[in-house]
Amino acid sequence: MSPSGIMVTGPDSLYVTLLILLHSLTSVSAKFEVLGPTEPIVAVAGDDIILPCYLKPNISVEDMTVDWRNLDFVNYPVYLYQNGKNILEDQNPFYRGRTSLFKEELWRGNTSLKLTRVQGTDEGHYECLIKSQSWYDDVEIQVHVKAVGSRPVVSIEGHREGGMGLVCQSEGWHPEPDLVWLDSKGVSLSAGPPEKHRDLKGFYTVKQHVIVQETDTNLFTCRVQQRRIKEEVETEVHIPSELFDYATPWKLSFLVLFPLGVITVIGLALTVYWIHKKKGAKIDQLIQHQEQQKSVLGK
């Protein structure tokens, strides 16, 4: 009886048995499973990473299709290998020049992707799809990108509404960070709306203005933090008391009114002087006139 359950007799029985066994082995070898990591991969911006993907059993993929995609840009492959060569015509422009396979490992089912110079836009869900002429399978891999931005830069903008205007900026973050202003006791200060910008590589810049009042320490802190990656950086700034001297309302009023008062006093003094001068000139003229008349009558 043959492996298929069909009774075979005669000289062809061995031949038929071999054909059935060969068919069974071919069917088994045509099927495979695509495996990858079950936990997300955390990549540091600027580094090179490897997205693991391989076949079980470890059969060759040299004659198969290896299709890597970021599911956020599903219409454009991250990397496509087909018919023994790379297909670059429709590659996602974000990945050009930054992706490769380990070609010396394809013969044993290693289809891992190397991604160089990681940037913010690389974060997302990836699919590794392997397809033969009779079978296909895939696996999804999640990638998180971590980028710690620059130390905050604090600038003094000058007097604002009776206080001192400050602005803080930090750039190069991923994911998007939060910015907070703190006083010397660590209490959050009321500030203007945050300004956030994302560049073409997916990195964030954050900026925020605040107006501070004079305190006993005049110490203020700008802190930028990203809770998901548990990172924060901060800059402390001290504002000299002298800079606040002209910021309070009564001092501003004094600065405005005092010059006006001085000008007014000087103006009044000059007016009185000219009035007295004119009166003195008239009196002199009158006395001179009287003297002239006396001298005429005396003659």
Cβ-contact 109, 134 below 8 angstroms: no
> Quick check: 50 pLDDT over 80?
yes
33-145 matches 153-244 in fold: yes
> Quick check: 259 pLDDT over 70?
no
Q: Per residue in 190-212, pLDDT tens? A: 999 999 999 999 999 999 999 99
Q: Per residue in 163-193, pLDDT tens? A: 999 999 999 999 999 999 999 999 999 999 9
Q: Per residue in 69-111, pLDDT tens? A: 999 888 899 999 998 999 989 999 999 999 999 999 999 999 9
Q: Per residue in 238-248, pLDDT tens? A: 999 888 875 45
Of 77 and 283, the one with more pLDDT: 77
Q: What is the pLDDT, as a whole number, of residue 162?
A: 78
Measure CA 253 to chain center.
43
> Quick check: 235 pLDDT over 70?
yes
How many Å apart are CA 261 and CA 278, to the nearest integer?
Answer: 26
Cβ-contact 181, 222 below 8 angstroms: yes
Confidence of residue 2 (pLDDT cuts 50, 70, 90): very low
pTM value is 0.71
User: CATH assignment of 33-145, given 2.60.40.10, 2.102.10.10, 3.60.10.10, 3.30.950.10?
Assistant: 2.60.40.10
Q: Can you name the CATH fold of 153-244?
A: Immunoglobulin-like (2.60.40)
> Quick check: 274 pLDDT over 70?
no
Residue 272 half-sphere exposure toward CB, CA atoms < 13 A: 6
Q: Per residue in 122-158, pLDDT tens? A: 999 999 999 999 999 999 999 999 999 999 999 999 8
Q: What is the DSSP secondary-structure string of 21-62?
A: HHHHHHHHHH--EEE--SSPEEEETTS-EEE--EEES----T
Domain map (residue ranges) of the chain:
33-145, 153-244
> Quick check: 214 pLDDT over 60?
yes
How many Å apart are CA 62 and CA 40, to the nearest integer?
Answer: 28
Q: What is the pLDDT, as a whole number, of residue 161?
A: 81
